[in-house]
Structure 1
Amino acid sequence: MQLKYRAASLLPVLAARAAPANDRDQLSKRDDIRYSPPSYPSPWMNPEADGWQEAYAKARDFVSQLTLLEKVNLTTGVGWEAEQCVGQTGAVPRLGLRSLCMHDAPLGIRGADYNSAFPSGQTAAATWDRGLIYRRGYAIGKEAKGKGVDVILGPVAGPIGRAPAGGRNWEGFSPDPVLTGIGMAESIKGIQDAGTIACAKHFIGNEQEHFRQAGEAKGYGFNISESSSSNIDDKTMHELYLWPFADAVRAGVGSVMCSYTQINNSYGCQNSEVLNNLLKNELGFQGFVMSDWQAQHTGAASAVAGLDMTMPGDTAFNTGVSYWGTNLTLAVLNGTVPAYRIDDMAMRIMAAFFKVKESVSELEPINFSFWTRDTYGPIHWAAKQGYQQINFQVDVRADHGDLIREIGAKGTVLLKNTGSLPLDKPKFLAVIGEDAGSNPNGPNSCGDRGCATGTVAMGWGSGTAQFPYLISPDAALQAQAVRDGSRYESVLSNYATSQTKALVTQANVTAVVFVNADSGEGYINVDGNMGDRKNLTLWKDGDSLVKNVSSWCSNTIVVIHSPGPVLISEWYDNPNITAILWAGLPGQESGNSITDVLYGKVNPSGRSPFTWGAAREDYGADVLYTPNNGNEAPQQDFTEGVFIDYRYFDKANSTVIYPFGHGLSYTTFEYSNLVVDKKEIRPYAPTTGTTPPAPTFGNFSSDINDYLFPSDQFPYIYQYIYPYLNVSDPKQASADPLYGKLTAEEFLPPKARDDSAQPLLRSSGGNSPGGNRQLYDVLYEVSVDVTNTGKLVGDEVVQMYVSLGGPEDPKVVLRGFEKLRIDPGDKKTVKMPLTRRDLSNWDVRVQDWAVSGHAKKVYVGKNVRDLGLSHDLE
């Protein structure tokens, strides 16, 4: 139980980053992206915030009954492998609250059984269907609740996808902030409507796996002492990276996870600028900030910088040592961490809880163990204590397989089709490629899916789930061929050249070639891909496979499973390649989903959530693969600003193979009659006023003996993180030789403990989470008629873009979309709002959003490079 208190020992780091608060304007003017200004104090919750009033009333009733030890217990994880989930807090048994379960589940419950494996977030985004994204979130939330998970670690807006080779892009949605923001909001609403707290992650600038953690990088042979720094200017932060998190906050997200990386040379989980100023002040976030696992680097410093919960609790896995726990108890007792801050942490956690649950009695028991599939075992896995039943094999899948199949099909993007699709009982179907088949060792044989054997239906890492089954394309297509009376053969290898040639050169062959690429989280290395992809090419010589088959067969269809764009410039325009489809990472129903599209059971309506460039360098931003700052923190300057993906292609006037938003259908659509209706609205009024002083909820004993470990009540569990002291001497209990050597004023930044009323930011929302509520005023309503001019019913995605008109603005930016289902010959009118936010830029001088005086224009069309209708905006 020796717990080390680290805040004072980090004095040099904190002092180097501290600056008076009134320096903010000066810092903004010089825009030093390698410096993060301080922002204190940490904003306290607003019980009157829209959508949070009832939750905070319940939270106040609960927290006002808590002791200091119980409050600390809520904020501190109990340690890696200490209980059943990847992370759990301490419990409050006196009030009937069991330990809260935090668990990875952005596409399904990681490491559990009898749960579903959903399509990736990126594949869901490719549907451009708000309803489907919501239903996916709801189903994931429902399954998590049924397993006893209280907080789902997802959805993901960081990475947003700055670099196309980024390892975890597939966990998120799109490099466009509007598409990602809508994906975040709909997912959060679904998850939380199902009774589980969502956790928006990773906040913020966590755009690659290389160097995200110094320890992980050292394991790969890189000699760095600190995690990399994502250096982002103020304008880019607001207009790109913060945008989808604002949508998450506006949707009422209960939790936000801070990142491993540094932002402007301050760690994400102790960065007061991003946590206190951007997230809690400007966006008005009312939930709690949770650390990524081992992303906390200080004790008191992270508390005053805005961190509310540390996960998994220990400083490093299985050490039994914590920056909080005992040390947070001591920090509150000695006044280093102000009493309001521990109350605010507890209130935020419990308000998020009551926002999705009626009472503590509503909690499902945790009925699985992440650490083993054995039915019986130690509930305290690391300590090997508490032998009991820990896995109950509760089946939570319901009928979610049907939803997964639908999302997989509607998230498939038909990139090219010269007439070979849809298939109609082909005489002879030949399926080629390893990606069409199953992993011979089973779909879950590689831990956290850390391999690419057989068909790729999800990436690798903590954002994965166990497959309850995986329908391979080979199995589904063969079943369809048997039903149709077609001849069917498959060669499930990329290297069986002679056998493949012998097959596809026969008469009447329709050849479907399956190829893939993969990526994932940085702790897993697959063939030299340390999370991030080494390149954007197809894996396992997929390009040669495609070129060979298409040279032998005049009717070759290519299906790509990948976590983002791949380079297809060597073969996409081959006339023998009659169709190309991107099927993303579709989850457990992979084969059924692609079969539905190939055979026209589902008319393809997916649209690419990213750009398909001709060469890797055409994307501009890329992964930093080599440290560039000696053995110090690698520095990654995001000098491209907001110009990523299609924005960069437009700026560079580069040729694209398939543009952002592109996707074909088996029918055709025609757009007409663009109308823009200007609304009469009030002028923008910056937020004014002040907060109330920080509230506190009850006094606590100052007698150190009241905080000693109660060994007469329960036994000590090995490596378990407790809030108690093991001895009555504070210095000895803290195990820090610097304890008591410095006062809080000497090592914490100015105003870090200030609990007086604070001025509201002009850009904040007051009682409106997500920023100033007038940002969401509708300035224009844009309508357009869409006619299905083909012979089949189909779904069309109507996309709305805006030119903001400034010399430093992108050519156009996505600002809205709607998906319409239209019968042949029918016409529908779609109406889309343009808000003040949609037409604004971030003004770094006044620190607020503003509509510039530059001429603006709205465009409507089928993708970013096919915008047939336009209208000037007054």
Structure 2
Amino acid sequence: MAPSRVSVLALGNAILFLSALTGAQEPEIPTFEHHSPPAYPPPIGTGEGFSDWSEAYSKAQAVVAQMTIAEKVNLTSGVGWEGEQCVGNTGGVPRLGIRGLCLQDSPLGIRFGQYSSAFPAGVTIASTWDDDLSYARGYAMGVEHRGKGVDVQLGPVSGPLGLFPEGGRNWEGAGSDPYLSGVGIASAIRGIQDAGVIACAKHFIANEQEHYRQVGESAIAINESLSANLDDRTMHEVYAWPFADAVKAGVGSIMCSYNQINNSYGCQNSELMNGILKNELGFQGFVVSDWQAQHAGVATALAGLDMAMPGDQLFYSANSWWASNLTGAVINGSVPVWRLDDMATRIMASFYKVGLDKDRVDVNLDSWTTDVYGYRHWVAKEGYGVVNGNVDVRGNHASLIREIAAKGTVILKNIANTLPLQKPKQIAVFGSDATDNPRGPNGCPDRACADGTVAMGWGSGTANFPYLISPLSALQNKAIADGTVIQWVVDDYATEHMEQTATQATACLVFVKSQAGEGYSIVDGNQGDRNNLTLWSNGEEVIRTVAAKCNNTIVTLHAPGPVLMEEWIDHPNVTAVLYAGLPGQESGNSIVDVLYGLVEPGRLPFTIAKNANDYGVKLMYKPDNTYTPQQNLSGLLIDYRYFDKHDIEPRFEFGFGLSYTTWKYHDIVVRKTNAGPYVPFNGRTPAAKNTKVTESAESLLFPDGFHKVRAYNYPWFNTTSDIKRDGENGPAEAYDPTGTVIRPAGGAPGGNPGLYDILYEVNVTISNTGKRNGEEVVQLYISQGEVDDPVRVLRGYRRVSVDAGKSTCVTFTITRRDISRWDTTTQNWVVSPAEKLVYVGRSSRDLPLVAKLNGERSTGFKKNNKPGRLGHGMKAFM
């Protein structure tokens, strides 16, 4: 590294840092309305007073105290894309027996894994509305990752949240409601980390579309990534809400996103990382950049970034914002020593928190080859040996995958008890979504195609299928067992053959699909985000063709989110419709379980509209300007909230789903607890130690005889002339000898502890009035009562099993957070004096039980005969 490189980089980064503090901009940057405010200095993680972090921090502080500057830098900096076997790898501290960390996609299984499982996608686990299954899925995935030597699983996902129904990566997330998403990812995090792997909640934050998320990826050139602009209240009540749940669940890492937020890059936005995440939400883990989402060195360090991935500025560039440049920034005073200590301590605290110091497995997978033998340093073609140990980590997870996929299937229509099927005499199967990809389940890189049945989206959030049971294969097996005749036409354009086959069957099973994924791949003209909400592969025509000839047409849809159904949903011969999401490797078996009534189905985690315009949002397919596209996300009315506020009738509302039995809701009782008052937090983090650099220049050089791998990032210098000691203590703005003032809404992981005080208990009784045992998803919504609030918001749910003819009591707890709104003046949560109502029922618009939160029961709510709509009597309380 040339001597001038360190000083020039440090100077440039210092300018970036000062610009961030003062709001100064380069002359050519347009002036925009939305700007993210500065928040410095970065709060120091200590774990003090937090039982699930304190021991981990004690261990981390002790080991970091033994490290040199270069060793600390090694933990924070990725070694470079394809530098080692995982998608992300940090350097280690061999002197202390610490191997570099292995970070691996994905949120539904091990990306590039062999002898590992392909779990249902996030949208499917969200459709189960089952916390126990979410935990079990997280734990099983954690077990598999740990068995492969992975230290950090890059998941679960709550960004995108799903504002735009066409969003390319919505399927990775946990539903389009902040509460549903938050509860879901918190359960997954606990499962993953109980298995001994650090979970990484992503993408922080407001990463709602693939188009223009990063420069160079879209057809229309832009200078800077899209800026998602949102107001303070929307940030807190919508997009940050699930991440608060993640932090409260003890998540070890959070990934900052590609996009800008209020015209500051997510991985350089001090208000987001220092202010909201580490201060207000009390996050004790580390923040890792999305791959190449880091755009500066010193500025990102001071804004709160703790780990840079994959380490190189551009893939294969062998240039890093950090690595030796971070070492230089610490030596010349641009980054304080205490900030580097905090980065390393946060990383090691997460390491100890999940028990990676105990029985840690050696990395036995490789992301760049499926061969047993290969290069450990793939891009450099060095270190030849065994890279894929082919350790089978699947265990008995197939049965769990099958259960989740079945319980995450939603029955949208079921006329005259068409389902469950009862050994029909002859069935016919239609559509390419019923069958196998001719190239095999992994025939398309990162699943970037829609050939054959669709069981996951495409992109970095995927995994290799160990096998994929197609619906046709499973139905053949079932037909053979039942003595049913089965025929099929899986050519989506062979409509004449479909007509001939459909006339013979007693039940016609049509499988249609839609697909979406990450923006680096284009499939059928869709760059990650779907171009529209219609079916793929001639789906509408397949349905019309079959329904015209078969009076018992059952449609199953595999898709990453909503699709428009108005062309065919009301056809009299379409007797049943199922949304089967993205079910993973057991796809066919799971749909057979639902079709034949072996498993109770799930509920929608989003709204299905009659028209795409009904969602009230527009994904940006063409930039509003080619410098920095500006996207307005302000507003609380995401998904069903928008439909309710504007009195738009959906096709199927959020939370909707039919059951194989019937239910009655009755006897709602509200009890107020004796919770104390809410107290704004008043305190500071411990003061940073004003540590000076004491290491000799010689200690910062490459060790004698060290072999440097090509295109690999290291924390050392070549010669002492590369080392510039321009300062000691770092910028004054980044140092506070009295510690950082904790915001009033902070004070603990997840925010002020008073937010989680239980203020009310709500008890309801539900009865299974049908003839078969069943499972019901009981949903609780709250009306805040203010004009500028949503009509009602989800604040509780339970999936419960009840035998036929039996009843059960379901208890919900309502916390202060559940009935609070963010006050932009006091910068805290407040409970307004407006009257609040609690609703309980089967969906966001089927809510037969209503009560005031003072315990009085509201009466006169008569259910409308139209399925999925509130009764007329409820209008008075909207």
Normalised to the residue count of structure 1, the TM-score between the two structures is: 0.94
Q: Does the aligned pair in 2 maintain the 1:7–1:298 contact within 8 Å?
A: no
Residue matched to 1:724: 716
Residue matched to 1:25: none
The answer to whether the aligner puts 1:687 opposite 2:687 as a matched pair is no
Residue matched to 2:665: 671
Q: Distance in 1 between matches of 2:774 and 2:199?
A: 33
Q: Distance in 1 between matches of 2:90 and 2:600?
A: 47
Give the one of 593, 614, 620 matched to 1:618: 614
Deviations 1:84-124 (A, max 9, x none): 00010001111111111000020000011000000001100
The answer to whether the aligner puts 1:533 opposite 2:530 as a matched pair is yes
Deviations 1:479-525 (A, max 9, x none): 1001000110111121111110000012x521010000000000000
Give the one of 463, 486, 489 matched to 2:487: 489
Q: CA deviation at 1:702?
A: 4.1
Residue matched to 1:708: 701
Residue matched to 2:121: 120
Q: Secondary structure at the match of 2:746?
A: coil
Deviations 1:265-314 (A, max 9, x none): 00000100000000000000000000000000111110010000000111
Residue matched to 2:597: 600
Deviations 1:35-89 (A, max 9, x none): 0000000000122142101111111121111111100000001000000000100
Residue matched to 1:107: 108
Residue matched to 1:632: 627
Deviations 1:639-682 (A, max 9, x none): 4x111100011112111111000001110110000000111111
Q: CA deviation at 1:358?
A: 5.6
Trace 1:440-451 onto structure 2 (pairs within 5 A): 440-451=438-449
Trace 1:776-791 onto structure 2 (pairs within 5 A): 776-791=756-771
Q: Does the aligned pair in 1 maintain the 2:17–2:298 contact within 8 Å?
A: no
Which residue identity is paired with 2:478?
Q
Q: CA deviation at 1:9?
A: 2.5
Residue matched to 1:43: 43
Normalised to the residue count of structure 2, the TM-score between the two structures is: 0.94
Aligned residues: 842
Residue matched to 1:350: 348
Cα 1:723–1:743 change in 2 (3 A) is closer
Q: Distance in 1 between matches of 2:158 and 2:312?
A: 26
Q: Secondary structure at the match of 1:216?
A: coil
The answer to whether the aligner puts 1:868 opposite 2:848 as a matched pair is yes
Q: Does the aligned pair in 1 maintain the 2:427–2:484 contact within 8 Å?
A: yes
Q: CA deviation at 1:743?
A: 11
Q: Distance in 2 between matches of 1:259 and 1:71?
A: 24
Q: Secondary structure at the match of 1:214?
A: coil
Cα 1:499–1:585 change in 2 (3 A) is same
Q: Does the aligned pair in 1 maintain the 2:10–2:334 contact within 8 Å?
A: no
Residue matched to 1:8: 11
Q: Distance in 1 between matches of 2:171 and 2:287?
A: 23
Q: Does the aligned pair in 2 maintain the 1:229–1:263 contact within 8 Å?
A: yes
Q: Distance in 2 between matches of 1:415 and 1:711?
A: 68
Residue matched to 2:75: 74
Cα 1:559–1:755 change in 2 (3 A) is farther
Q: Does the aligned pair in 1 maintain the 2:17–2:302 contact within 8 Å?
A: no
Q: Secondary structure at the match of 2:103?
A: strand
Trace 1:356-371 onto structure 2 (pairs within 5 A): 356-357=354-355, 359=357, 362-371=359-368
Residue matched to 1:771: 751
Trace 1:355-754 onto structure 2 (pairs within 5 A): 355-357=353-355, 359=357, 362-418=359-415, 419-506=417-504, 508-604=505-601, 606-629=602-625, 631-639=626-634, 641-695=635-689, 700-712=693-705, 714-730=706-722, 751-754=733-736
The answer to whether the aligner puts 1:820 opposite 2:814 as a matched pair is no
Q: Does the aligned pair in 1 maintain the 2:14–2:299 contact within 8 Å?
A: no
Deviations 1:222-273 (A, max 9, x none): 1211111000100000000000000000000000000100000000001000
Q: Secondary structure at the match of 1:786?
A: strand
Q: Does the aligned pair in 1 maintain the 2:197–2:356 contact within 8 Å?
A: no
Deviations 1:405-437 (A, max 9, x none): 000000000011011100010001001000000
Which residue identity is paired with 2:611?
A
Over the aligned positions, Cα root-mean-square deviation in angstroms equals 1.7
Q: Distance in 2 between matches of 1:95 and 1:500?
A: 67
Q: Distance in 1 between matches of 2:586 and 2:114?
A: 17
Q: Secondary structure at the match of 2:720?
A: coil
Give the one of 200, 205, 227 matched to 1:229: 227
Q: Distance in 1 between matches of 2:519 and 2:571?
A: 36
Cα 1:510–1:7 change in 2 (3 A) is farther
Q: Does the aligned pair in 1 maintain the 2:608–2:654 contact within 8 Å?
A: yes
Q: CA deviation at 1:377?
A: 1.2
Q: Distance in 2 between matches of 1:158 and 1:622?
A: 17
Q: CA deviation at 1:855?
A: 1.2
Q: Does the aligned pair in 1 maintain the 2:688–2:735 contact within 8 Å?
A: no
Q: Distance in 1 between matches of 2:573 and 2:359?
A: 59
Q: Secondary structure at the match of 2:651?
A: strand
Cα 1:6–1:260 change in 2 (3 A) is farther
The answer to whether the aligner puts 1:797 opposite 2:777 as a matched pair is yes
Residue matched to 1:29: none
Deviations 1:679-702 (A, max 9, x none): 111111100122221147x86534
Cα 1:833–1:371 change in 2 (3 A) is same
Q: Distance in 1 between matches of 2:10 and 2:817?
A: 40
Give the one of 328, 335, 338 matched to 1:337: 335
Q: Does the aligned pair in 1 maintain the 2:337–2:729 contact within 8 Å?
A: no
Q: CA deviation at 1:16?
A: 5.0
Which residue identity is paired with 1:318?
Y
Q: Distance in 2 between matches of 1:492 and 1:786?
A: 43
Cα 1:18–1:251 change in 2 (3 A) is same
Q: Distance in 1 between matches of 2:620 and 2:475?
A: 41
Displacement over 6 Å in runs of 4+: 742-745
The answer to whether the aligner puts 1:757 opposite 2:739 as a matched pair is yes
Q: Secondary structure at the match of 1:792?
A: coil
Q: Secondary structure at the match of 2:175?
A: coil
In structure 2, the gaps of 5 or more residues are 25-31, 855-878
Q: Does the aligned pair in 1 maintain the 2:10–2:328 contact within 8 Å?
A: no
Q: Distance in 2 between matches of 1:502 and 1:695?
A: 80
Q: CA deviation at 1:622?
A: 2.6
Q: Does the aligned pair in 2 maintain the 1:17–1:35 contact within 8 Å?
A: no
Cα 1:433–1:755 change in 2 (3 A) is farther
Q: Does the aligned pair in 2 maintain the 1:430–1:503 contact within 8 Å?
A: yes
Which residue identity is paired with 2:42?
S
Residue matched to 2:810: 830
Q: CA deviation at 1:468?
A: 0.1
Q: Does the aligned pair in 2 maintain the 1:6–1:298 contact within 8 Å?
A: no
Q: Distance in 1 between matches of 2:647 and 2:737?
A: 52
Which residue identity is paired with 1:385?
E
Equivalent pairs: percent with the same residue? Answer: 55
In structure 1, the gaps of 5 or more residues are 22-31
Q: CA deviation at 1:334?
A: 1.3
The answer to whether the aligner puts 1:18 opposite 2:21 as a matched pair is yes
Q: Does the aligned pair in 2 maintain the 1:17–1:36 contact within 8 Å?
A: no
Q: Distance in 1 between matches of 2:389 and 2:250?
A: 32
